[in-house]
Structure 1
């Protein structure tokens, strides 16, 4: 298979995608929260300007427990490779953006949680039976898409398919376009994100998950290092969300009845 050049891929993606509008700047009396704008079921900016997804529901619940009303929440778009910078420079106070807790990130930011456990998987076109495991990507004729700065891309490159032709793009919607147009053969990220794409209106029957558990991704709420009070309050909010049933209701609402989710995780961050 002839691998398309990056310039051609970018051109196709640029035509196929509609640019997302950014949320307004922080104002006094508001809580600025970084989320993804392009992850159906997780964090999505809808065409009418509203926000949907599990991370959005978790962030909204936490904000309520911190004393903020819905109209005091400012959702800002974050990309996988700029989450630490936005926290460091006070562009956002919290990040709820399929943000996996790991030691490298904990050197730069603090986390609350985890509030969810996902697993890395592969998504392919529904009629493609040539990929059944990560090792099938160790082929010069296969091309894989992931997002720059994500743990999924790093895991593939180092551990799963080091010979894979890996295309790293700025967002998962860009990877989806590349997969749809046949510019790549698979995309990889957390199964929660991939599941959201498969059930999104217009995508039904076009894509499928392989059903792998290539990693454990413990989602946490990112915040500036040293803000122990905010970390404690956020952890308490997560516990309350689980205890009162709101957490499970949000999982089922956003990922659908067929999604096999892990039970709520024990809080491991903070003292």
Structure 2
């Protein structure tokens, strides 16, 4: 399913590794570890309800069965992770994350080429969940919509009772904002962050109430450097990976 031309793959890996090496060298510092952060339309995130099994180890089997009924994929091509969101009588509400194995292989190859230890592979909404768990999101009451701006995509995450229940990747265009309007109108709190967040500011202010995501100043990194705090909206994921 994920066959990649070996020549193109090698060229891609060399290009990425060279770019990262140049960026690292320009910092004038030596690094031993590397963290990866991703969420794109290749990563599948679904909420499922399954029968509560007698043994926890049976959850994976039930999830695989449910996925096979609705999504036409070979689940063996994916790394499967899940989170139990809540329990309703004899049912489990689980959030399933499927990451293509080829993405992990690419990260491992790049790490080896840079002679660095791969520390973590983070999914964007997991980083957001970490910030929420640590009570680092300023002015947040546990429910709201978060919109992350990437180069050409938006990632929308719906948070209920301090848990990220849903997360979607969508094109970065006006049509996406219009479709978001109805969803966000159901929440009192809306937040945005990420690179190129000005696009959100310029196009959504007339559609719905939303504010920049700011982190609580309890973090030493931000407390000691006011300029870093002012710009932290662009680096939420980077900060979330290292705390």
State the TM-score, normalized to the length of structure 1. Answer: 0.27
Select the structure of larger CA radius of gyration. 2
State the TM-score, normalized to the length of structure 2. Answer: 0.30
Which of 1 and 2 has higher RCO (CA within 8 Å, sep 6+)?
A: 1
The structure richer in strand per residue is: 2
The structure richer in helix per residue is: 2
